């Protein structure tokens, strides 16, 4: 083995520092052909070993790419030399106080395990990004992940009250804790949330929980076009009913994923909403009636849906659309809610201009669009799909939105950050990075 692997084995043990297997060199952008390289894959057992590994790498000028579940959509966990640092052995629950609605977990705990643990104790951890069996809490924090229910409950960062992270040159750092409010000093917790492994390596987090909602009622509604569906979203908000989630599928996504939909789809439907209300049973029933009425405006049909079946189907939309032509180039933008219809129609128009099929769906209540350009990854379509996807970013910025709502910047979107921010803002971000990581070894080439 190389001198680097031998040195790291002295810290984590022989079986936990290895030459890299290919599966650790990609993330969910693999379908776009993104594969990295690394000299070693290292799996520390705990925060102390993470600190020792970072310390050794910092002293020896070796780049470190932290990796959670590898479900990211921006190439953030794809290493470019150096080591891939895996958090998957850090899965301990350090403390859990169900009666106080709080938990402290290590970063490598799978998101779905946290959901199950909360549920078994009558509690709820609301952030629900779609790859929950694969993603880890640390990865969710590093990307500030969202998901359908972020509409009511907010994104991951909203639930983080404290963090433990390893910072350069190899120190364990803590900020916050089991306190629900904290404005002492600058918000370093907030800075680390969403920093995509470029400022430090999250090793544990204090999280807030809430009592599990007693009931949840999803409704589906179908519209003849995008404008009618987007008008209905504004009617829902205007009615004052607090939906927990408002998801949409455009005409193309509905045509493809609709084949597996566990219910009827009316003829002429070219836009679908999936909205849910939750809470204490009687309260949720009242909200369901109000939601139903609001969704009816301009609708071809509104129907109740079985929660398990409809959300399982919703989780499969991305896979169904990818399978349609064997691949897709996707990006996740967000716009102010009153520009949503223009953005969705803009995505379809971009696809038509480039001669590729376009489909979009996403977290409509948050104005968050997952736009996909479908292609056979081996064919010349892939180049056209890539060119189409690049036009999403100016579209988002022109409509007053953002080039990334929840998937992060990684390497995939880094060249486009300058569209959204003036040079002075980028300079400030680079200065923050330099304070945390003076040698530029923490996830180099990502984010800023």
Q: Which residues bind ligand FAD (CB under 6 A)?
A: 27-28, 65-73, 76-77, 87, 107, 129-131, 134-136, 138-140, 142-143, 145-147, 196-197, 201-202, 318, 406-407, 410, 443, 446
Q: How far is the CB of 90 from ligand FAD (least distance, A)?
A: 8
> 164 or 391, CB closer to ligand FAD?
164
| Element at 318 (helix H, strand E) | helix 317-325
* Shortest distance in whole angstroms from residue 392 CB to ligand FAD: 17
Assign 3-state DSSP to the chain and report helix, strand, coil percentages, each to 5: 40, 25, 35
Nearer to ligand FAD, 70 or 82 (CB): 70
Minimum CB separation of residue 165 from ligand FAD in Å reads 7
Residue 246 CB, shortest distance to ligand FAD, in Å, is 14
Between the alpha carbon of residue 291 and those of residues 305, 314, 338, 446, the distances in Å are 13, 19, 19, 41
Residue 250 and residue 265: Cα distance in Å, rounded? 13
Smallest gap, in angstroms, from Cβ of residue 404 to ligand FAD? Answer: 10
Least distance to ligand FAD, CB of residue 240, Å: 26
C-beta closer to ligand FAD: residue 51 or 145:
145
Q: Does residue 90 come out as left (phi exceeding 0), alpha (psi in the -120 to 50 range) or beta?
A: beta
Which tokens belong to 206? 């204090």
Smallest gap from residue 276 Cβ to ligand FAD (A)? 14
Nearer to ligand FAD, 203 or 226 (CB): 203
What are the structure tokens assigned to 401, written together? 């939105």
Cα–Cα distance measured from residue 303 to residue 222, given in angstroms and rounded to the nearest whole number: 9
Cβ closest to ligand FAD, residue 202 vs residue 341? 202
Q: Which residue lies nearer to ligand FAD by CB, 134 or 227?
A: 134
Q: Which is nearer to ligand FAD, 288 or 401 (CB)?
A: 401
How many CB atoms are closer than 10 A to CB 94?
12
What is the C-alpha to C-alpha distance for residues 206 and 188, in angstroms, rounded to an integer?
14
DSSP for 180-215 reads: S---SSS-HHHHHTT-TTSS-EEEEEEEE-EEPPSE
Return the residue matching tokens 């180039």: 329
């Amino acid at each position: 083995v190389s001198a680097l692997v031998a040195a790291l084995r002295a810290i984590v043990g022989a079986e936990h520092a290895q030459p890299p297997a290919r599966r650790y060199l990609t993330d969910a952008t693999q379908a776009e052909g993104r594969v990295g390289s690394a000299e070693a894959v290292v799996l520390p057992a705990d925060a102390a070993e993470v600190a020792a590994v970072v310390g050794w790498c910092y002293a020896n000028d070796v780049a470190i790419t932290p990796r959670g579940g590898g479900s990211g959509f921006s190439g953030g966990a794809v290493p470019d030399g150096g080591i891939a640092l895996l958090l998957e052995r850090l899965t301990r629950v350090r403390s859990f106080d169900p009666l106080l609605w709080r938990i402290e977990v290590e970063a490598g705990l799978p998101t779905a395990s946290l959901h199950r643990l909360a549920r078994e104790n009558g509690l709820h951890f609301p952030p629900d990004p779609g790859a929950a069996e694969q993603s880890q809490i640390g990865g969710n924090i590093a990307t500030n992940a969202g998901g359908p229910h972020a509409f009511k409950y907010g994104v991951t960062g909203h639930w983080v009250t404290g963090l433990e992270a390893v910072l350069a040159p190899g120190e364990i750092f803590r900020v916050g804790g089991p306190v629900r409010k904290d404005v002492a000093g600058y918000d370093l917790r907030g800075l680390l949330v969403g920093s995509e492994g470029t400022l430090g390596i999250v090793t544990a987090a204090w999280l807030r929980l809430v009592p599990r909602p007693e009931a949840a009622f999803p409704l589906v509604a179908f519209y003849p076009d995008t404008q009618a569906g987007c008008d209905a979203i504004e009617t829902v908000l205007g009615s004052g009913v607090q939906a927990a989630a408002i998801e949409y599928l455009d005409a193309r996504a509905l045509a493809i994923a609709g084949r597996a939909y566990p219910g009827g789809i009316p003829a002429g439907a070219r836009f679908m909403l999936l909205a849910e209300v939750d809470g204490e049973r009687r309260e949720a029933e009242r909200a369901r009636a109000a939601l139903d009425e609001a969704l009816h405006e301009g609708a071809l049909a509104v129907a109740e849906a079985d929660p398990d079946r409809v959300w399982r189907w919703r989780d499969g939309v991305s896979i169904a659309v990818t399978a349609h032509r064997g691949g897709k180039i996707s990006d996740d933008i967000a716009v102010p809610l009153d520009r949503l219809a223009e953005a969705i129609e803009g995505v379809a128009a971009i696809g038509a201009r480039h001669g590729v099929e376009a489909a979009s769906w996403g977290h409509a209540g948050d104005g968050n669009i997952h736009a996909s350009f479908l292609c056979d990854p081996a064919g010349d379509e892939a180049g056209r799909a890539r060119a189409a996807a690049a036009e999403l970013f100016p579209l988002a910025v022109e409509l007053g939105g953002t080039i990334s709502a929840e998937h992060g910047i990684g390497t995939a979107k880094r060249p486009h950050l300058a569209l959204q921010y003036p040079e002075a803002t980028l300079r400030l971000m680079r200065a923050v990075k330099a304070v945390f990581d003076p040698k530029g070894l923490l996830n180099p080439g990502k984010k800023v």
